[in-house]
Structure formats: C-alpha cells, structure tokens
Structure 1
C-alpha cells in the first residue's frame, strides 16, 4: 500500500531536510495562502520494512541562480501575487555534506 503525505517547505534558499521512504516521489507542490508557505505532496510506500532516507529540498524564487546539479521538481504559484516558488531537490552528495 501507499499514501500521499503533505510536507511544509521553508524558503526561499533554506535547506529542507525531510526523511522519506525509499521510492517516494513528489507528486505536487502548492503555495498555500492561508499558511504563507510552499507545501509538497509526496507519494510514499507504507510498508514498515521499507527504510527511510533523508532528502534535501530547496524553494527558489524566479530569477535566482540554482546549482546545475539540482533537480527541478515543480513550481508553486501565489494566486494573489506575482511570486513563483520553484522546488528543487539537491543531489545526495550535498545531503551528505550538510550532515557533516
């Protein structure tokens, strides 16, 4: 079985370290006006034996530079403003560096 979970991302340019089950995939991002924050929805397996692993996400504003090795996931728009928030995942190597 699997389920979709919701996670809040701090940003912009803040490292968001989230432990997700192996095989988890981001299915949506959205800027929630009531929370004034970007959230991601993640499809995750529910089996207890599947290990979790930390992953590193960043929220980046339009026009801001992003390292070449970051993986673009989705864009969340503020429906009442001009802002666009782009969600990227940092490579595993950066995750290991940020833990040190």
Structure 2
C-alpha cells in the first residue's frame, strides 16, 4: 500500500527537476566564465543603481542554498520544504535567465 500522498510525489518530482535545471544553468554560466571567451566578460561592467539593488538576488540565492541543504538532508520527505525550494528555484531560474539575457547582447 502506498503511504505517500499524490501531492508529496509531485513535490518530489518538481523539486528534483528544479534542482537539476538551476544547477545546469549555474554550471553553464561558470563554465562559460572559465572558457576562452571569458576575456569578453572583463570588458563588461554590470551597473547596479545602488547597493540595495544587489540585495534581492543575493538573498534569493542564499535562501535557495539553505532550502536545498534542508531538503537534501531530509531526502525530499517534507513536501512543504520541497514546494518552498521549488518556488525559490523557479524565481532564481527566472532571475538567472533575465540576467543572462541582459549580459548576452553586450558580448
């Protein structure tokens, strides 16, 4: 007999997918920064209007990492942590896509 609910199964699948998608995007960005075209990135300066403009993405990344550690320590057993991680990962994915879309035309 299956003791887990359908919501828990869906939250595990979504959390695993978000984890893999965000990690692939981060690894691709890091790999590109170490590639032979990395000297192009040195000529580009990202402009933040003030110091607080960097606070939101940094805090989102920290929240993502904290939820990832909690989720992996619990081994996807808590569906509420899975959904919170999926939400934070979705926002981080969208933010990274917007950031890369902003940087790419400058190359």
Return the TM-score normalized by structure 1: 0.21
Q: Would you tell me which structure has more helix in proportion to its own residues?
A: 2
Whose strand fraction is larger, Structure 1's or Structure 2's? 1
Larger Rg computed on CA atoms:
2
What TM-score does the superposition give when structure 2 sets the normalisation length?
0.20
